[in-house]
Amino acid sequence: MIATLSLAFIFGLVAIQMVALADQPPVRLGSLHIDPPFADLRTSDLRDSFDEQHFGHRHEAIDIMEPLGTPIRAVADGRIRKLFLSAAGGKTIYQFNNSGTYCYYYAHLDHYVDDLREGRRVFRGQIIGYVGTSGDASPNAPQLHFAIFRLDDDKRWWKGTPINPYPILLEALKRIPSTNNAGIATN
């Protein structure tokens, strides 16, 4: 009897979550225009690992391998919401876009740009940090762990609906000429 009630309770919670997710409007790639996080990013540098299992859970991000110390650029205009140090992500940045609809998560950084701080306004293409191996990244594999979340009404930087950045970055690369990366600010 208790097992049946417990199972019914769990299924009820799952059903509630499914209804809540169904009520959210779908994310269309055309509605989210970002720039690449690196000045010289190529499509061959990207691999879709969003749905892969990492450490027992869905990755919900992509890892972009770059040399240690490569400058990381803000993918959109917005504000730095949180600078955070965690065991998994190491040195991280949570950046909100201007409307507070999306959060861009940059992890495994070596270090931040010198004057970066929470609340600071940043602009698309502005250098905000540098590729590293902090957190649970392999010391021999410098990378940027990049994730996108659609925020809920509470605007919690640590929560949101994960969005696969892979197709969005592919679309961004189509918009930017590969010969000179026009439109990307230098800092």
pLDDT for position 57:
77
Query: 39 vs 30, 31, 121, 134, 153, CA distance in Å?
Result: 22, 22, 20, 22, 33
Contact assessment for residue 122 and residue 79, using Cβ atoms and an 8 Å cutoff: yes
* pLDDT for the residue 2: 54
CA Rg value for the chain: 18
List per-block mean pLDDT (blocks of 10 residues) for the chain, which spans 187 residues: 43 38 42 92 91 75 96 98 95 96 97 97 98 95 96 86 94 76 43
pLDDT, residue 59, reads 64
pTM, entire model: 0.78
